[in-house]
Structure formats: C-alpha cells, structure tokens
Chains A and B, each alone.
Chain A
C-alpha cells in the first residue's frame, strides 16, 4: 500500500532563517506531488505541484521554492523566512491530475 511521510511535525523558526521540509511517498511510482498551505479561515492553498523529477510548477508568487530531486521526494524550501510564512504545510500525492490526492500529516510552522 502507498504511504506518505512528511516531517517534521512541528517547527519553530526565527525570521530570516532558512527552511527545508521534506516529503516522501512509498508504494507508487511517478506520482504527482503537491505542497499546500492551510491558514486559518482561508482553506487549503496550492503552493507547488510536480508531475515528474525536476518539474515544478508554482501557483502563487511567494517566498518559497520547491524541488523534486527524486521520483518520490518533494522538498519545500525558503532561504529567508518571513512571519507571513507561518502556517500548516501539507504534502500530497496523486496517481494522476484528475484523481483524488492523499495527504501527509502536515508540518506546523511558526515563524517568530
């Protein structure tokens, strides 16, 4: 069966520090991978998606970047965090673009 791992579960970082969140998927090949952010009162917002190694599409301009160095690995990064980067970050995968997505357990990021 397929599983998705996302870590860390919680993170407190100072403003201006770098960020690296990692997500890996097991039990499937060539998944579509996604990063979402969930802010209170705003719902889930798609940040990045990837249909293959090295292929990244960004949905909104922001202080974040994503990379997919391996088929089942997706990384969310920032060089310098802002207070506004605080939120609940979720990684997800799907078999195709029009099928249901399966989510990791999320990372609660607090920038102080």
Chain B
C-alpha cells in the first residue's frame, strides 16, 4: 500500500526565514509526485508535479525537489501570504488504472510578520 508521510506537522516561521517541508513516500513504483497548497475552508490548489529523481520546479518563493525516497518543498524568504497547509500526494495505482491520489496529512505553515 502506498504511503505518504509529511513533516513537520506544523511549522511557524518569521517573515523572511527560509525553510523546507518534507514529504517521504513508499510506493511500488513512482509515477509522479504532486504538491498542493490548501487555505482554510478551501479546496487544495495545485502547485507542482515532479516525475523523476533530480527534477526541480519553481514558482515564486517555492521550489520543489524530488529524490528516490522523498520530496522537499523549499520556501525562500516567505511572506505571511504563504501561510497555508501544504500537501503532497502520489498517484494510487491498482494495475487496472490509476485510482486517484494518496495524500499526506500536510504541513501547516504559519509565517509571522
């Protein structure tokens, strides 16, 4: 069974203080890894897709990286508006077709001004 574990569960940073969020996964064969941002009371917003080890994607202050066992979401000089829960997910694959995504529980990030 595919498993996705995110750490830390919660992270509080000062504005401008860079850090990284971790997503480790156990899958039978990696077919992609996805990062999402979720604001309170809203649906998850897609950020990045990573398909192979060594791949990197960037968007504003966020950079996602992927190794064979884990992914990192690096946040550089964050601003209060970066406060959100960040989720990572992998495709669930039964052999007969992909069956949705398996999500981690997320990292709740708070950026204090």
Contacts and interface: CB of A to CB of B under 8 A. Distances in A.
A59 B87 CA distance: 20
A99 B49 contact: yes
For chain B, which range describes its interface: under 10, 10 to 19, 20 to 34, or 35 or more residues?
20 to 34
Contacts, number: 65
A106 B41 contact: yes
Contacts of A108: 41
A74 interface: no
Contacts of A103: 36, 43-46
Max chain A CB contacts within 10 Å: which of B32, B98, B100? B100
Contacts of A44: 44, 87, 89, 101, 103
A100 B101 CA distance: 9
A42 to B, nearest CB: 7
A44 to B, nearest CB: 4
A49 B99 contact: yes
Contacts of A43: 87, 103-106
Interface string A40-60: 011110100101000001010
For chain A, which range describes its interface: under 10, 10 to 19, 20 to 34, or 35 or more residues?
20 to 34
A104 B42 CA distance: 8
Interface string A97-112: 1111111111010000
21 contacts: A32-B98, A34-B100, A42-B105, A43-B87, A43-B104, A44-B101, A46-B99, A46-B102, A49-B100, A90-B43, A90-B44, A96-B98, A97-B91, A97-B99, A98-B32, A98-B93, A99-B32, A101-B100, A103-B44, A103-B46, A106-B43
